[in-house]
Amino acid sequence: MNASAVALTGDVLVPGNARGIPLALAPLSFWGGYDAEIGTIIDRTHPSHGQSLQGRILVMPRARGSSSSSSVLAEALRNGTGPAGIILCERDLIIAIGAITANELYSLAVPVITVDENAFARIALCTSALTIDAGHRSRPASISLTV
């Protein structure tokens, strides 16, 4: 079976560029659910408990939980234990604020984008590295993957 390249588009919430292997998760609250120091999901009730987001493209339909999640995400990015990029189906102000804070305080540009449900379903099934080009809010984000 031959692999083929697929290009998808999305909306830019936080600009940046990233490349990494996607990790599709059920909604996660960073506050109490993620250890920003060691970089693993610590919520024992989460289906992905124990997994690391470090360097991955986080793929979630939406976030869950507290407004304090933004500070945990920003700290994970500062520590190098956070995701390389974030793809959501629903806009999330708290996740966006965490990435914006990391950019403003630590000069770390981690893209946060939203995609429609069809694109989300394709991305969630992707097992090889994908690329996010979301360098400007003035144009759609581009997601390149191989299926």
- This prediction has a pTM of 0.94
Looking at residue 121, what DSSP letter applies?
H
Q: How far apart are CA 102 and CA 4, in angstroms?
A: 34
| Gap between the Cα atoms of 5 and 43, Å rounded | 35
Residue 1 has a pLDDT of: 52
Q: Which of 29, 48, 52, 66 is catalytic?
A: 66
**Which pLDDT score is estimated for 120?**
97
Rounded Cα gap, residues 41 and 59, in angstroms: 14
| Closest to 123 (Cα-Cα) out of 87, 73, 77, 95 | 87
User: Could you tell me which residues come within 8 angstroms of residue 93 by beta carbon, excluding any fewer than 6 positions away?
Assistant: none
**CATH architecture of the region 5-146:** 3-Layer(bba) Sandwich (3.50)
29 is catalytic: no
Per run of 10 residues, the mean pLDDT along the chain (length 147 residues) is 82 97 95 94 95 97 87 96 97 95 96 97 94 92 90
Q: Where are the domains of the chain?
A: 5-146
